Amino acid sequence: MKKIRYTCMMVAAMTALAQAAGLDFPQALKEIQAPADAKVVTAEFEFTNPTDKPVRIVKYDAACSCMAIKIKDSKLSYGPGESGVLRADFAMGNFSGTVDKVVALWLDDDPADKPSVKLTVRVHIPVLVSLEPKTLKWEVNAAADAQTIRITMNHDSPIRVTAVNSSSPAFQHELKTIEDGKLYELSVKPLEINSPALAILRIETDCSLAQHRLQQAFAVVRKP
């Protein structure tokens, strides 16, 4: 009896929370497996007003210029039992790997810093050019030994490194071809280790897909 009573209380509490939010989103997280050549992917969030009062969407924001948010028919007010759809279009740009983007909705009397609803679009983007690691680190006054970034191509067709450029003369670098079109090693070494330094390493490839063509890595000399 206690277990049944506890379960009923939990269900009631969850229902109360859904109604307190004003709009019920059955799925607050949408995961998308994006093709390597996709430029834009879309996630749709269905919702319903489960309360006995009208609910109004005051504002919505993705906090990222890469996300465009639309609500079906531009409808912002929903009576009891009414449903709607929020659409989020994510422009992939140069993103790769797993990317989370959050959409926030403010309803009726929500404080400016506390939206009632937060939705997540999780996009899994193929990594055609993998850098491991992406950041090389040295400590000031430590040994200035060379470190290596392993560049692996994860594509059916060969991808070749065509150039490597550094933003700082404080580091020297050397590219080695391990397997043409498949595997490379980039050796990086600080020329002096007595003060902090930072370099952005631009790795250019001949990848046929523009969004995967340019990669960046970092070299940092920092204080302990």
Q: Any residues with CB less than 8 A from the CB of 159 and at least 6 apart, and which?
A: 128, 129, 153, 181, 205, 206, 207
Backbone angles phi, psi at 83, to 5 degrees: -120, 160
Which of 60, 92, 125 is the last residue in one of the domains?
Answer: 125
What is residue 22's predicted lDDT score, i.e. its pLDDT?
87
Residue 210 sits in which domain range?
Answer: 129-222
Q: Do 117 and 138 fall within a single domain?
A: no
What is the DSSP annotation of 164-212? EEES-TTEEEEEEEEETTTEEEEEEEES--SS-EEEEEEEEE--SSHHH
Q: Which residues of the chain have pLDDT under 50?
A: 1-20
Q: Do 119 and 133 fall within a single domain?
A: no
Q: How far apart are CA 65 and CA 99, in angstroms?
A: 14
Which of 79, 96, 125 is the last residue in one of the domains?
Answer: 125
Which of 75, 93, 125 is the last residue in one of the domains?
Answer: 125
What is residue 21's predicted lDDT score, i.e. its pLDDT?
58
Q: Do 138 and 174 fall within a single domain?
A: yes
What is residue 149's predicted lDDT score, i.e. its pLDDT?
98
Which residues on adjacent β-strands are paired with residue 42?
89
Q: How far apart are CA 97 and CA 154, in angstroms?
A: 12
Q: Do 167 and 197 fall within a single domain?
A: yes
Q: How far apart are CA 157 and CA 128, in angstroms?
A: 10
Question: Does residue 183 belong to any structural domain of this protein?
Answer: yes
Q: Any residues with CB less than 8 A from the CB of 88 and at least 6 apart, and which?
A: 30, 42, 43, 44, 45, 62, 67, 68, 69, 101, 103, 119, 121
Q: How far apart are CA 104 and CA 21, in angstroms?
A: 12
Q: Do 71 and 95 fall within a single domain?
A: yes
Which tokens hold the place of 178?
Answer: 């391990």
Query: What's the total number of domains in the chain?
Result: 2
Q: Do 86 and 179 fall within a single domain?
A: no
Q: Do 111 and 39 fall within a single domain?
A: yes
Q: Do 150 and 189 fall within a single domain?
A: yes
